[in-house]
Structure 1
Amino acid sequence: GINQIHPRVRKVLQLLRLRQIHNGVFVKLNKPMINMLRLVQPYVAYGYPNLKSVRELIYKRGFAKVNHQRLPITDNAIVEKQLGKFNIICVEDLIHEIYTVGPNFKQANSFLWPFQLSSPNGGFNKVKTHFIEGGDNG
């Protein structure tokens, strides 16, 4: 969770929509975002996703935010109803918009609920060192 950490770091995690342990989100990388990631670096792992990862995340763990409710993305009707005005009419359009960080990335990303990821199968091995340094922390 986000208990017992500095209030500034907690606020950044809330801004990134990372309110629970093992949550994941997509972010648009710009100068302010780099500074925010630098602040929360001990608590998160980040990197550039490939198209396969984006597609698998959205199809397997993708949920839509409709009227503040978490709904599974079962068909294209949900996507078209919420994002049709931004010319995103199917799940593949949503994947393309997220992967290419297109002009409607903000709307597409806020339509997606933060991904609830599972903990590693074998548990964490090297918790002492950070993810960037080859460990499991973050």
Structure 2
Amino acid sequence: MKQRLKLRKSSNDAIKSKLLFVIRIHGSKDMHPRTRQILNKLRLRHILSGVFLKANEANLRMLLTVEPFITYGYPTSKSVRELVYKKGCGNIEKERTPLTDNNVIEQALGKYGIICLEDVVHEIATVGSHFKEVTSFLWPFKLKCPERRLQMKKKLYKEGGDAGNREDHINELIDKLN
């Protein structure tokens, strides 16, 4: 009960942006089955894969549960644009398809009024009304390993590790992994 009250207090204070970018940084060693289930629900099945999420109480609760295995923060619109343009792939007939042509986007998301790559970026950056459809259309981002490897310690970012909430510092990590 005390933990729920603490979570509610901290989650209301912690939401600084409507958008989160979540990156899985640890493997499946020493992982509880419930943690694995949450990571699958978040579509973070591989190390160094990333997804965009809405910053709501339910998602923050899930992130706190799997915090030792992920890092997350509030991306800027510049970071969103770079990720979508460089690493963006769509889910077309359950296959990973690079977003090189606007016709691909128009066929998949045209019914929501999203016809080009810039519309996808805008919908994600502003957490628009069709955010869920756009993020489920996008395949999880495959990020590359940085030159200086992550410490791979399950310590929180605030305590000198890599896991947990990086807030605005996620943009620096996105630049390194992009």
Measured against the shorter chain, the TM-score band is over 0.9
CA–CA distance in structure 2, aligned partners of residues 33 and 42 of structure 1: 15
- CA RMSD after TM alignment: 1.6
- The verdict on how the C-alpha distance between 1:132 and 1:113 changes in structure 2, with shifts beyond 3 A counting, is farther
CA–CA distance in structure 1, aligned partners of residues 132 and 144 of structure 2: 25
Asked if structure 1 preserves the Cα contact closer than 8 Å seen for 2:68 and 2:155, the reply is no
The alpha carbon displacement at 1:31 in A equals 1.3
* Residue pairs, 1:86-101, within 5 angstroms: 86-101=112-127
Q: Does 1:77 align with 2:134?
A: no
Asked if structure 2 preserves the Cα contact closer than 8 Å seen for 1:126 and 1:136, the reply is yes
CA–CA distance in structure 1, aligned partners of residues 158 and 44 of structure 2: 19
Code of the aligned partner of 2:52: F
Q: Which has the higher strand share?
A: 2
The alpha carbon displacement at 1:136 in A equals 2.7
Percent identical across equivalent pairs? 50
CA–CA distance in structure 2, aligned partners of residues 68 and 126 of structure 1: 31
Asked if structure 2 preserves the Cα contact closer than 8 Å seen for 1:2 and 1:19, the reply is no
Flag structure 1 segments of 5+ consecutive residues without an equivalent. none
Asked if structure 1 preserves the Cα contact closer than 8 Å seen for 2:90 and 2:137, the reply is yes
CA–CA distance in structure 2, aligned partners of residues 21 and 57 of structure 1: 17
1:47 aligned residue? 73
CA–CA distance in structure 2, aligned partners of residues 70 and 18 of structure 1: 15
Aligned positions, number: 138
TM-score (norm 1): 0.93
TM-score (norm 2): 0.73
2:128 aligned to which of 92, 102, 115: 102
CA–CA distance in structure 2, aligned partners of residues 24 and 52 of structure 1: 16
1:133 aligned residue? 159
CA–CA distance in structure 1, aligned partners of residues 158 and 82 of structure 2: 23
2:86 aligned residue? 60
Asked if structure 2 preserves the Cα contact closer than 8 Å seen for 1:62 and 1:115, the reply is yes
Flag structure 2 segments of 5+ consecutive residues without an equivalent. 1-26, 165-178
1:116 aligned residue? 142
